[in-house]
Structure 1
Amino acid sequence: MSIAFSPCPNDTFVFHALVHGLVPGAPEFDVTYADIDITNGLAARSDELDILKISYAALPWVLDKYALIPCGGALGRGCGPLVLVNQPGDASPEMLSGKKVAVPSERSTAYMLFRLWAAQNVPGGVGEIIVMPFNEIMPAVKDGRIDAGLVIHEARFTYQDYGLTMLADMGNWWEEDTGLPIPLGAIIARRSLDLESITKWIKESVEYAWQHPEASKEYVMQHANELSTEVAQSHITLYVNDFTADLGDKGFEAITTLLNRAGEEGIVPKKDYANLLK
Structure 2
Amino acid sequence: MKFAITPCPNDTFAFFALISKIGKNLDFEFERHDIETLNEFAFEAKYPITKLSFPAYLANRDKYELLDAGAALGIGTGPVLVARRGWSGGKVAVPGLNTTAALLYRFYAGKDAEIFPMLFSDILPAFSRNEIDAGVLIHEGRFVYKDYGLELVEDLGDYWTKKTGLPVPLGCICVRKDFAHLKSAIDDEIRKSVKYSFGHFDETLPLVRHYAQHLQEDVLHSHIVAFVNEFTYDISKIKDSLISNLLLK
Please give the range of the TM-score, normalised by the shorter of the 2 chains: over 0.9
Shift of residue 23, structure 1, vs aligned partner: 3.1
Distance, in Å, in 1 between the alignment partners of 2:69 and 2:46 is 21
Deviations 1:144-170 (A, max 9, x none): 322310111111210000000111111
Residue 30 of structure 2 is matched in structure 1 by 31
Return 52-61 or 208-217, whichever deviates more. Answer: 208-217
Which of 153, 159, 164 is residue 173 of structure 1 equivalent to?
Answer: 159
Look up the SS of the partner of 2:185 in the other structure.
helix
Which residues of 2 match residues 1-278 of structure 1 at below 5 A? 1-27=1-27, 29-45=28-44, 47-87=45-85, 95-96=88-89, 99-119=90-110, 125-127=112-114, 129-193=115-179, 194-257=182-245, 259-262=246-249
Look up the SS of the partner of 2:3 in the other structure.
strand
Distance, in Å, in 2 between the alignment partners of 1:103 and 1:232 is 22
Distance, in Å, in 2 between the alignment partners of 1:139 and 1:217 is 25
Contact 1:54 1:186 in 2 (8 A): yes
Distance, in Å, in 1 between the alignment partners of 2:24 and 2:248 is 40
Deviations 1:239-270 (A, max 9, x none): 1000001113134423331x2222xxxxxxxx
Q: Which amino acid aligns with 1:113?
A: L
Distance, in Å, in 2 between the alignment partners of 1:226 and 1:165 is 19
Distance, in Å, in 2 between the alignment partners of 1:105 and 1:36 is 8
**Identical pairs, percent:** 38
Shift of residue 34, structure 1, vs aligned partner: 0.6
Contact 1:82 1:168 in 2 (8 A): yes
Greater Rg by CA: 1
Distance, in Å, in 1 between the alignment partners of 2:229 and 2:210 is 22
Distance, in Å, in 1 between the alignment partners of 2:58 and 2:18 is 27
Distance, in Å, in 1 between the alignment partners of 2:29 and 2:72 is 22
Change (3 A) 1:146 1:79: same
Look up the SS of the partner of 2:69 in the other structure.
strand
Report the TM-score when normalising by structure 1.
Answer: 0.84
Report the TM-score when normalising by structure 2.
Answer: 0.93
Return 30-39 or 18-27, whichever deviates more. Answer: 18-27
Look up the SS of the partner of 1:105 in the other structure.
coil
Distance, in Å, in 2 between the alignment partners of 1:9 and 1:69 is 20
Shift of residue 226, structure 1, vs aligned partner: 4.3
Query: Any unmatched runs of 5+ in structure 1?
Result: 263-278
Deviations 1:41-61 (A, max 9, x none): 11112x231111110011122
Look up the SS of the partner of 1:192 in the other structure.
helix
Look up the SS of the partner of 1:112 in the other structure.
helix
Give me the CA root mean square deviation.
1.7
Look up the SS of the partner of 1:248 in the other structure.
coil
Distance, in Å, in 2 between the alignment partners of 1:167 and 1:220 is 29
Distance, in Å, in 1 between the alignment partners of 2:16 and 2:109 is 37
**Alignment length (residue pairs):** 247
Contact 1:139 1:162 in 2 (8 A): no
Look up the SS of the partner of 1:186 in the other structure.
strand
Query: Any unmatched runs of 5+ in structure 2?
Result: none
Distance, in Å, in 2 between the alignment partners of 1:109 and 1:225 is 20
